[in-house]
Amino acid sequence: MKENPVVIAIDGTSASGKSTNSKRVAAALGYTYVDTGAMYRTLAWYCLQQNINIEDTKAITAALKKWRTKLVCADKAVYLTVDGYHPAQEIRTSATSAAVPKVAAIPAVRAWMKRKQRQCVKFGNIVMEGRDIGSEIFPETEFKFYLDASLDERSRRREADGIIENLAERDKRDTQRAVSPLMFSLGAIPINTSEMTPEETTKLLLEKIYEKLAKRQNKSGTTNKTDEI
């Protein structure tokens, strides 16, 4: 692991383009991509598999002490395995999706996830997407972005993907969550993607990132850290 890996935090609302652009940015930079939402989905899936009542906070908290997980990095992407298994498809089912908000709102779960997510720097430079990356997981990083788009546009995108979701309710739940709510973190660069294509958004993100990397190199007095860019 590098002494000071670059952490690019991309937060934002649902259907604002976080996943698409985080993956594109990571690929362009040669960094490792981390989808923190998938980690919460993995726990939700595990609870369903174990017949744990997702309304039972104590039972879910207890599950955190028993489930055998490992952070794995493959093809420049980080994910959680459970007993050596990666439930890549299972965590995307409607049943798992419905369970995630309940699980993700539990303070003990968020504390557990924070520890795991901060460990991802052992894989080197990362692009991490979520809702509390810049505010809670890596508040110290200088590479913070907040993506958003109009409610109408985000709903249109969801429908185009064949997903019907009440995004207004989702926004309310995410922003009013007692622990680690979705918020605009100090130092983050806002990007409204309402009228932008993924290509345009990625281009803008990369421009901002390269600017910050150049400033970082100038401050350190180095000129040959090509591995960081």
Q: Where are the beta strands (DSSP E) in the chain?
A: 7-12, 32-35, 69-74, 77-82, 126-130, 143-148, 189-192
Greater confidence (227 vs 229) lies with 227
Domain segments of the chain: what residues?
Answer: 1-31+124-218, 36-122
Does the pLDDT at position 94 exceed 50? yes
Mean of the pLDDT values across residues 30-34? 98
pLDDT, tens digit, for every residue of 97-108?
889 989 999 999
Does the pLDDT at position 68 exceed 60? yes
CATH class of 1-31+124-218: alpha beta
Does the pLDDT at position 222 exceed 70? no
**Per-residue confidence band for 51, with pLDDT thresholds at 50, 70 and 90:** very high
**What is residue 226's predicted lDDT score, i.e. its pLDDT?**
35
Distance CA 213, CA 219 (A): 10
Please determine whether the domains at 1-31+124-218 and 36-122 fall in the same fold group of CATH.
yes
CATH class of 36-122: alpha beta
**What is residue 203's predicted lDDT score, i.e. its pLDDT?**
98
